[in-house]
Structure 1
Amino acid sequence: MRILNHDMQRFLTYTNFEIDIDNEKEDILKKCINRAYRDLSRRIPYKYSLSMIKNMKKEDAKIFNNKKEEFKNSVYELFKENINSITEPIELIELIKQKADEQDIWTNEKGFTYGLSQKWVNMTLKYLLMFDECPISKEKLDVPVDSYIIKVANASEEKNKLGLDLNYCKSVKWSTWNDITEYTIFQDKIRKKTEEKNYETKIDWEYHAWLEQAKENK
């Protein structure tokens, strides 16, 4: 396959991230946070759906949409304030979960879960890594957990060459995880198994695992 020239790379990164690689003032962090948000937005249990908001009184809809934007902006501020001082993703995951718990925009008691928080954080960091802008070392990054990753991680090597045979959290949706222990155990199991299989980092395994599962589900 032919390597993209600079103009094509610029087009590709802008259409996917709205990042212009020729603009030195580009806020890459914010764009990566926004792109990661799109990856989980359908799973977020907002109190009102888009169709419900459309049928609201204009002022009520404006108030609710403003609250959503305020939460998203607060996540950006948490990233900006802490990303250069933390050493592991779980620190940001906890901060965002705490901020989410202060909001009144969720439809159920669980609200914005640890599962959603880890997805937002880990995808943002993965995208930053792609742009060589991630201040956390690759070895410290966690795998963004979703249904594809859970499926491959639990598959046996006989059925899937990338399978880790974890036998963990098979029947629990990642977006409903609301115990940080579930998350840390899963990440630790992946780390140990990928080390046994001589992957340099968990992320190196994740790139292949997610892509192959996405192709299979196509």
Structure 2
Amino acid sequence: MEKTTIQINKYADRFLIGNVNFKFASDKAYADMARRTLRIDVGSELRSNLKSEATRVLKECIENLKNMKAISQCSFQSWHKESCNKLIDCYKPYLFYYGQSQKWLNMLLKYLYVYDVEEYQCLFSQKLIEVMDMPIDFKVIKNFHNQYNIKWPNSGWSKWNENTYRSYQESIRKALIQDKTLTEDEKIPFYWELIHWSDLD
């Protein structure tokens, strides 16, 4: 019998809708990023063109990740940084922060996984999942401050620079690894967010 998405991808059962393509996942990730943070005062046509070009670049970046020969924490972080900077370049000369680029990218990876997009099923090896970053929003920041005393950043996630972002991801990873009450899956940032996000205040 053919496997269902639930059986293929752990913790994806809350997201099942079926027959999702890359554009759908990218558009949904864009909406998560842009809803309250994207303030580019241009006409709707130019805004649409900027988004289309950025989506094209994102697809190229994901293909590069898919074709990466060896996955490690270091190689993933290098790929992630390069991809975020390419997104930022798509929006020049307009103001587009590293925090916005990482949100779009991280949510895209999440949606490609939970919607089990056919072209990208092979992407999500256990090794990749273990090194992927956690999607960050206010609820996550609040939880990790309250539960693990991780310091509130000086600005909202959408305005983070690269150093603030990477430092925060490392703080999350360290807190989860050191928490002896968690399961092995919960110590993986990507899985932790899938398991717990809907329960956060």
Q: TM-score, normalised by structure 1?
A: 0.67
CA contact (8 A) 1:122 1:143 kept: yes
Specify the code of the residue in structure 2 equivalent to 1:68.
R
Aligned to 1:79: 58
Specify the code of the residue in structure 1 equivalent to 2:175.
K
Specify the code of the residue in structure 1 equivalent to 2:49.
E
Q: Distance in 2 between matches of 1:126 and 1:95?
A: 19
Counterpart among 90, 112, 116 of residue 128 in structure 1: 112
Q: Whose radius of gyration is greater, 1 or 2? A: 1
Aligned to 2:132: 141
Is 1:175 the counterpart of 2:168 in the alignment?
no
Aligned to 2:197: 210
Counterpart among 8, 31, 34 of residue 24 in structure 2: 31
CA contact (8 A) 2:88 2:98 kept: yes
Q: Distance in 2 between matches of 1:146 and 1:123?
A: 11
Aligned to 1:3: none
Quick one: higher RCO (CA 8 Å, sep 6+), 1 or 2? 2
Counterpart among 20, 25, 34 of residue 41 in structure 1: 34
CA contact (8 A) 1:168 1:186 kept: no
Structure 2 alignment gaps of length 5 or more:
1-12, 66-74
CA contact (8 A) 1:118 1:145 kept: no
Superposition deviation, residue 83 in structure 1: 1.0
Superposition deviation, residue 200 in structure 1: 4.1
Aligned Cα root-mean-square deviation (Å): 2.3
Specify the code of the residue in structure 2 equivalent to 1:131.
Y
Q: Give the match's secondary structure for 1:80.
A: helix
Q: Give the match's secondary structure for 1:84.
A: helix
Q: Deviations over 1:21-46 (max 9, x none)?
A: 2xxxx6x2111000111112221012
Count of equivalent residues: 163
Counterpart among 78, 83, 96 of residue 92 in structure 1: 83
- Deviation >6 Å, runs of 4+: none
Q: Distance in 2 between matches of 1:205 and 1:130?
A: 14
Superposition deviation, residue 205 in structure 1: 1.7
Superposition deviation, residue 210 in structure 1: 2.3
Q: Deviations over 1:177-196 (max 9, x none)?
A: 2x210000000111111122
- Mean Cα deviation higher: 203-212 or 124-133: 203-212
Is 1:201 the counterpart of 2:188 in the alignment?
yes
Counterpart among 188, 191, 201 of residue 170 in structure 2: 188
Q: Percent identity?
A: 26
Specify the code of the residue in structure 1 equivalent to 2:56.
E
Q: TM-score, normalised by structure 2?
A: 0.72
